[in-house]
Amino acid sequence: MPYKWLTRLPTVLYPPTCVLCQAPSSQAIDLCIGCLGDLPRILHPCRQCASPLPAESLELCGACQTNPPAFDATIAPFRYALPINRLLAGLKFQGKLMYARILGDLTAQAVIDSGIELPECVIPVPLHARRLRERGFNQARELARYVARRFELPIVDGIVTRTKDTKPQMELDAKQRFKNMRDAFALNTLDPWQHVAVLDDVMTTGNTVGELARTLKVAGVKTVDVWTVARTHSEVP
């Protein structure tokens, strides 16, 4: 059967290779077992914001206890550190879309491992139209393709628009970040979603996803979870 040959050809010519060390990979993902084991995982995340906690016995960080964000839970498997930050930068700034599959698969696995209740849909954090034109793609949407596929969930984009062309949160201090994101999103439709997951590439202070969650809850969504590849510490890296 010539067609079978054709479908087999790519794996014969290009066996799975680790994108980090170029070693052959026996995994379904393009990372070898060694590099996979070395990824900077957050071992004891805050249940609500995924900020790293000092001990497993704690559930919530101090910030979530005193000033809880509008979202209910966060899955963020990694610290924003090498090599995850390099892969994220490659996706976002060099358009290496193959990294979206790797990072999306890792995020989906973290969702499974957490045992969290699945939402009804995945909402990629939208980019402002101007930024989308400049970049040509929304990295959150690219990641969402692989995460949503794993759970056979619909990707819902278009129900929220980014109305403010906000500055990158990493360039601002805490006060500016809050102001920067206030009213940054507008809701276009009122679909009857009760439980959604908002997906982004990196979470810095949580102000971006916090504001999006607030907008969704005002519109009647009951539960908003956040799924993101990486979490920075509360300080700017």
Residue placing its CB nearer to Zn ion in the complex, 46 or 147: 46
Tell me: does residue 82 bind Zn ion (CB under 5 A): no
The least CB distance from residue 139 to Zn ion, in Å, is 23
| Residue owning tokens 């920067």 | 180
122 binds Zn ion (CB under 5 A): no
Q: Strands 160-162 and 121-124, how do they pair?
A: unpaired
Asked if residue 19 binds Zn ion (CB under 5 A), the reply is: no
Smaller CB separation from Zn ion, 159 or 209 = 209
Question: Inter-axis angle of helices 207-218 and 174-181, to 10 degrees?
Answer: 30
Kindly state whether residue 42 participates in binding Zn ion, applying the rule CB under 5 A.
Answer: no
* Cβ neighbour number for residue 195 with a 10 Å cutoff: 15
Please give the structure tokens belonging to residue 82: 């090498």
What SS3 state is found at 187?
Answer: strand
User: Least separation, in Å, of the C-beta of 44 and Zn ion?
Assistant: 11
Residue 147 CA to residue 197 CA, distance in Å, equals: 11
Task: Choose which of 39, 42, 45, 46 interacts with Zn ion (CB under 5 A).
Answer: 46
**Segment interacting with Zn ion (CB under 5 A) among 1-9, 30-38, 173-181, 224-232:** 30-38
Cα separation, 18 vs 32, in Å, equals 5
CB of 219 to Zn ion, least distance (A): 24
The verdict on 18 binding Zn ion (CB under 5 A) reads yes
Least separation in angstroms between residue 233's CB and Zn ion is 12
Q: How far is the CB of 52 from Zn ion (least distance, A)?
A: 10
**Shortest distance (Å) from residue 122 CB to Zn ion:** 22
State whether residue 203 is helix, strand or coil: strand
Query: 146-164: b or e for each residue (b if 16 or more CB lie within 10 Å)?
Result: bbbeeeebebbbebbebee
Touching Zn ion, residues 137-196 (CB under 5 A): none
Q: Which of 29, 30, 35, 191 binds Zn ion (CB under 5 A)?
A: 35
CB neighbour list of residue 59: distance below 8 Å, 6 or more residues apart: 46, 47
DSSP string, 7-58: HHHHHHHS--B-TTT--B--SSSSS-HHHHHTS-B-SSB-TTT--B-S-TT-
Please report whether residue 64 would count as binding Zn ion according to CB under 5 A: yes
- Can residue 48 be called a binding residue for Zn ion (CB under 5 A)? yes
Nearer to Zn ion, 33 or 129 (CB): 33
Instruction: Give least dist CB 70 to Zn ion, A.
Output: 13
Which tokens is 130 given?
A: 């101007």
Q: Which residues bind Zn ion (CB under 5 A)?
A: 18, 20-21, 23, 32, 35, 46, 48-49, 51, 61, 64
